[in-house]
Amino acid sequence: MTKIIERIVRGFRDVKLWGRNTKIFVATEILYGIPMQWVWFYQGIFMVHLGMDVVLLGFIAMLSLIFQIFMPIIGGYLADKFGRKPILIAFDTFAGIGSTFVWLMATEPWQAVLGAVLQAFSATVLPVREALQIEDTESAYRVSVYSFLTSIYLLGGIMTPIAGFLISIYGVLQGCRYVFLITMVSLMIMLITRQTYLKQSKISDLHSSHNDEGILRSEGYIETSKILTKHTKLLTLFILIIIGNMLFSLVNTFRPLYLIDAKALALNESIASIVPMASSVPSLIVLSFLIPRLKHEHMRKALIFSYVCSFFGLVALILAPKGSLILAVLSAVLDSARYISFYSILRLFFVNKIYEINSLLIVKIMSLTTTFSAIASCPVPLVGGYLYVASPTLPFIVCAGFLAMSIGLMMKT
């Protein structure tokens, strides 16, 4: 017990060594990360209850990804030219507040499509957010930053039964609208706080103030791509992140539907919220006590282990009989290893490797990561929709194949 307390204290001690912007980001991310977990889980269910079929749902997800192909590059350019803070606030307001408001008011399928398109614009600032939240914090303390951020999202998963409770009382459509309202108000508070307290980072000032001057000018996207392909380990991590995003596109779109589908597990819509809650609890324990202590030389093995766990988690979901809440929970618990490794270990690996090469490349490489992830993921939801119609288990069989591919790549690095 004493050792556990010491680890917790050590984790909070690292917080004191974070940069100002990092502290503000993590503190305000609570207002985004918790309610958005509810939105992501029930968004597809809400659309189906508005009258969409599964194939159309996959098409909407694909349409959203098409926007993500171009917007991150535009966001990287705008951030270098005008500064990261104003671009972050502007697009988070447009995409976050705009999409939740549209979903709140939606009564027709086309309105839900509009909300999904608006949400896609949030991809514009994904690389900007990635850079601004950690670049004023030394690399030795970034692991705790990613751990805290991932913990926030896991906490949101633990609290998903709150959304399930609203849906059990008011029904799927009205209950989801209350979830969207809570999320919209929470995002407003977050954006006002960030506008008030965030400051331009030193690197951001260098970009915006000396955007065209010699050594201070960051490389263009063509030159950045050449640098990326020259570094084998960086390229491998780049590919793994792309595969990871493809998996999220498939699993996040179709797993909530699979849980409640009469042809699949046939769980009640409100009971289904127990699945993300149950999987988040052990994930939070692992993230709090094991990930911060993970040594650099053990991270590769940890990634491989997490992919293996996720593989067996998807197998459990595929084999689970109708009404089996226990196997659904077990599957989500095992698959949560992929979530932890993606958002903490893998991304930390990737960001630190970029900083080893050139710190000024961070926004452009992250922009390329988001763009190529969108290109690769673009057909995935639509194809997944057709696969789901053919057999609800097929999208998850494809995911298991992608995980096997990821394990093979990690074994070669």
Count of positions (residues) in the chain: 413
* Weakest mean pLDDT among 98-107, 178-187, 192-201, 304-313: 192-201
Instruction: Report the pLDDT value the prediction gives residue 391, as an integer from 0 to 100.
Output: 94
* Weakest mean pLDDT among 66-80, 116-130, 288-302: 288-302
Instruction: Report the pLDDT value the prediction gives residue 9, as an integer from 0 to 100.
Output: 54
* Alpha-carbon gap, residue 388 to 51, rounded angstroms: 17
Taking only the tens place, the pLDDT of each residue in 381-413 is: 889 999 999 999 999 999 999 999 999 888 876
Q: What is the mean pLDDT of residues 315-330?
A: 93
Evaluate whether 342 touches 244 at the Cβ level (below 8 Å).
yes
pLDDT: is 78 or 105 the higher one? 105
* Weakest mean pLDDT among 28-42, 125-139, 265-279: 125-139
* Residues in Cβ contact with 63 at an 8 Å cutoff, skipping those fewer than 6 apart: 113, 116, 117, 120
Alpha helices for 50-171 (secondary structure H): 54-82, 84-92, 98-105, 109-120, 126-132, 142-158, 160-170
* Alpha-carbon gap, residue 47 to 113, rounded angstroms: 9
For the cut 60, the answer to whether the pLDDT of residue 125 exceeds it is yes
Instruction: Report the pLDDT value the prediction gives residue 206, as an integer from 0 to 100.
Output: 52
For the cut 70, the answer to whether the pLDDT of residue 42 exceeds it is yes
Instruction: Report the pLDDT value the prediction gives residue 385, as an integer from 0 to 100.
Output: 92
Evaluate whether 214 touches 221 at the Cβ level (below 8 Å).
no
Taking only the tens place, the pLDDT of each residue in 332-390 is: 999 988 888 887 788 877 887 888 887 777 778 877 887 788 888 888 888 999 999 99
Dihedral of CA 40/42/44/50: which sign? Answer: negative
Half-sphere exposure of 218 (CA within 13 A, CB side): 24
